[in-house]
Copies of this chain bind each other. A is one copy, B any other.
Amino acid sequence: MSKEIGITVKKTDNLSEWYTQLVTKAELADYAPMKGFMVLRPYGYSLWEKIRGYLDGKLKETNHSNAYFPLLIPESFLKKEADHFKGFTPQVFWVTHAGDTELAERLAVRPTSETIIYDAYSRWVRSWRDLPVLINVWNSVLRAEITATRPFIRTSEFLWQEGHTVHETKEDADHEVMMILEFYRQLSEEQLAIPVLMGYKSEREKFVGALYTTTLEAMMPDGKAVQMGTSHNLGQNFSKPFEIKYLGKDEGVHYAWTTSWGVSWRLISAMIMLHGDDKGLIIPPRIAPIQVVIVPILYKKTSEDAISSKAKSVSEQLKKSGCASHVDSRGQYTPGWKFNEWELKGVPLRIEIGPRDLEKHQVTLVRRDNAQKMTVADDNNLVTQVLNVLESIQANLITKAKAALSRSISNATEYGEFKRTLEERGGFIRAGWCGDSECEDAIKAESGATIRTIPFQAEETFEKCVRCSRPSGKTVYFAKSY
């Protein structure tokens, strides 16, 4: 009954194949029978629950509430904001029948919920007293993917959260957009240990229907960027067609300002690619569903009970301190097999307890991030030491990731150099841009790179646009992306 659980390809040799094997072998996800869809398995879902729990806490602390809006949206709603409709309609799954009855109007399976939510807001918002409306939704959205799909990265259905808020003024909406972006940064950098570049999207890359879009961009080991989340100020672009108006303190009637923002299970794909190694996942401790796995080493019959009960008591102590620990007491597998499996699954710290450990009143810790092995005394300080090691793993992961992000950034002043760098090493290329969408389109067509982000603060001035050599208004970050 031995299962083939190891990954048969090296990360540096073939990131794509390594990724696919890892996702399925670590039992994070499985392919569904319909092209483009995936199943999120329990271990993957528990990771999503950690992400959701963290962000949900931040949102509730700042007076956001969750709600639920219908899955099916009338076609006429999507059409109310013309750009929005044009942007999403090629990917919409359309419901045409209920049972045997053809529907009078087609219903879209939600590709995003702006339109159905704004219809409700137009009824709920009457006065400045009703503002702000701060609502978030945890749901799934569907966007048909015609091209190749990959678990967590590009699927026809994905889990996400979508926040939709209504404000009195542009300033209030701006503030919301930036506060949410900061929550996303904390989630990404402080929990998932993934450093990001932040800034605006260009007009071409912004959310269809938005006034402006802000983004967080991470860099993967193959030199391609992953968009980690976006936060949009929608201006009055939706409040006007949907008639979201309020009576102001000035007794006048005003169109409200709205924002929307979201992160999806794609965060998980970046975590896998950035931290994983040839043995499997490496999950940052703060976001790990299992932070510590305890493997009892039972090869002397006489000490089995003592070791098993020691393993349980260490686990209980850790749980009391809020540490998610798990004892792997399965009889049908050897310790070595278990080590491999938990390394594959990326548990940050392993504790081994064998007869020798028991004798010496110690336990053996093995770090997942650097394979470092250490023995620590089994005394009152054990829990503190374990917690310290977990924090040290977290710190190590973000430090390494930050260094990799820095290394990935190149400057380019000439178009030849730009294309060469992109081809040879990928990563972010910092360059001047004239601000013209046509130039941006041409760069994409000629090199495959898009403007990932325009920094909030001008970092350094490039005099000329990297492609057309006209004066550069902005320094921007280009990259190929997932």
**Which residues of B are found within 8 Å of A74, using beta-carbon distances?**
33-34
Decide if A374 is an interface residue (CB 8 Å cutoff): no
Decide if A1 is an interface residue (CB 8 Å cutoff): yes
Residue interface mask A35-58, B partner, CB < 8 A = 1:
001111110111011000000000
Complexed CA–CA distance, A127 and B120 (Å): 50
Contact across chains for A67 and B90 when beta carbons are under 8 A apart: no
Contact across chains for A46 and B68 when beta carbons are under 8 A apart: no
Complexed CA–CA distance, A247 and B3 (Å): 14
Contact across chains for A39 and B93 when beta carbons are under 8 A apart: no
Decide if A148 is an interface residue (CB 8 Å cutoff): no
Contact across chains for A71 and B34 when beta carbons are under 8 A apart: no
Which residue of chain B lies nearest to A69 when distances are taken between CB atoms in the complex?
A: B39
Contact across chains for B45 and A67 when beta carbons are under 8 A apart: yes
Most buried by B among A40, A91, A98, A129: A98
Decide if A332 is an interface residue (CB 8 Å cutoff): yes
**Which residues of B are found within 8 Å of A93, using beta-carbon distances?**
72, 95, 97-98, 107
Copies of this subunit = 2
**Which residues of B are found within 8 Å of A71, using beta-carbon distances?**
71, 109, 140, 142, 157
Given contacts A39-B67, A40-B68, A45-B68, are A129 and B95 in contact (CB under 8 A)? no
Decide if A252 is an interface residue (CB 8 Å cutoff): no
**Which residues of B are found within 8 Å of A247, using beta-carbon distances?**
1
**A359-406 at interface with B (beta carbon < 8 Å):** none
Decide if A159 is an interface residue (CB 8 Å cutoff): yes
Which residue of chain B lies nearest to A98 when distances are taken between CB atoms in the complex?
A: B144
**Which residues of B are found within 8 Å of A69, using beta-carbon distances?**
32, 39-40
Given contacts A70-B37, A120-B30, A135-B42, are A95 and B98 in contact (CB under 8 A)? no
Contact across chains for A68 and B119 when beta carbons are under 8 A apart: no
Which residue of chain B lies nearest to A142 when distances are taken between CB atoms in the complex?
A: B71
Which residue of chain B lies nearest to A119 when distances are taken between CB atoms in the complex?
A: B33
**Which residues of B are found within 8 Å of A49, using beta-carbon distances?**
66
Given contacts A32-B116, A120-B39, are A140 and B68 in contact (CB under 8 A)? yes
**Which residues of B are found within 8 Å of A94, using beta-carbon distances?**
95-98
**Which residues of B are found within 8 Å of A322, using beta-carbon distances?**
none
Which residue of chain B lies nearest to A30 when distances are taken between CB atoms in the complex?
A: B120
**Which residues of B are found within 8 Å of A107, using beta-carbon distances?**
34, 93
Complexed CA–CA distance, A95 and B111 (Å): 14
Contact across chains for B66 and A34 when beta carbons are under 8 A apart: no
> Of B39, B70, B72, B116, which one neighbours A68 at CB under 8 angstroms?
B39
With both chains docked as a complex, state the minimum distance between the C-beta of A18 and any C-beta of chain B, in angstroms.
22
Complexed CA–CA distance, A34 and B109 (Å): 13
9 smallest A-B Cβ distances: which pairs? A42-B65, A98-B144, A40-B68, A37-B70, A90-B99, A94-B97, A96-B96, A93-B95, A45-B67
Chain A interface residues toward B at CB < 8 A = 1, 30, 32-34, 37-42, 44-46, 48-49, 65-72, 74, 77, 89-101, 107, 109, 116, 119-120, 123-124, 127, 129, 135, 139-140, 142, 144, 156-157, 159, 247, 332
5 intermolecular pairs with C-beta atoms under 8 Å apart: A33-B77, A39-B69, A42-B135, A94-B96, A94-B97
Beyond the given pairs A30-B123, A48-B68, A70-B157, 7 more chain A to chain B contacts, judged by CB atoms under 8 angstroms and listed by A's residue number, are: A32-B70, A32-B116, A39-B68, A39-B70, A40-B68, A93-B107, A96-B97
